[in-house]
Chains A and B, each alone.
Chain A
């Protein structure tokens, strides 16, 4: 009974410019950083993890290995929330 819901949970998230995130599935709300917001929006558009990392390297002028570690940590958080 959970599979169908889980597949759409990331794209169902409601985001605004200030990083406010509402999960319509659970009714929970969250605040994410600007970088987190960029990640979420990219993932909602269907970007791959490599594409998300590349976008952050370009926009933040940070080494790729550092960005990759931070993105992996963020993705782990998203998995804990059932969004991935």
Chain B
């Protein structure tokens, strides 16, 4: 793990991964959207609005996955003071917030025709809304201090405390028997949806995951470059001051 703490080595590896992950994202997204919108059948109850699921479910999975990555990176940053882990957590938060926002909005758009309500105070919906608040709090806390590293370390603790919410979201549909349907893909007795719907769903999920990898690399790269520019500026100021004092 500490091999990748060197920013220059990380930048080299990231430059190798980025074109591949970006290409895979675009390919999977095109194939996935074609299968989801064109090939897969309409639902016998929900009709065409079932297609919202192909965006909603992967976005919701990614909302949880990105938060788990954020919490994992925060733990690594707190325990080993790993310099890149802090930046990874900081770079993940806006991406995860976007995925959460997409999951909530697409859910509302789907809910209006099917449940006849934009929003219900169901356990799953409410716990995901709280996840959105945690992302917002994390971003606000990161940028709330004059000293950037202090904000990152404070946000790392918040990320770990907020991780309590993740199992609550996961099992909210089992603990509280309310409107949102329980899990139908990851189950002991196999997925409960037909292969013609499962395939586009999984392809979309894979493309969302590679999208996260690509954007994370881009954001991390710009964070590292911003740090380097700060350091350069500081040395330049110091040099000019020394030149004056001579």
- Are A and B co-members of a single complex? no
A-to-B contact residues, CB < 8 Å: none
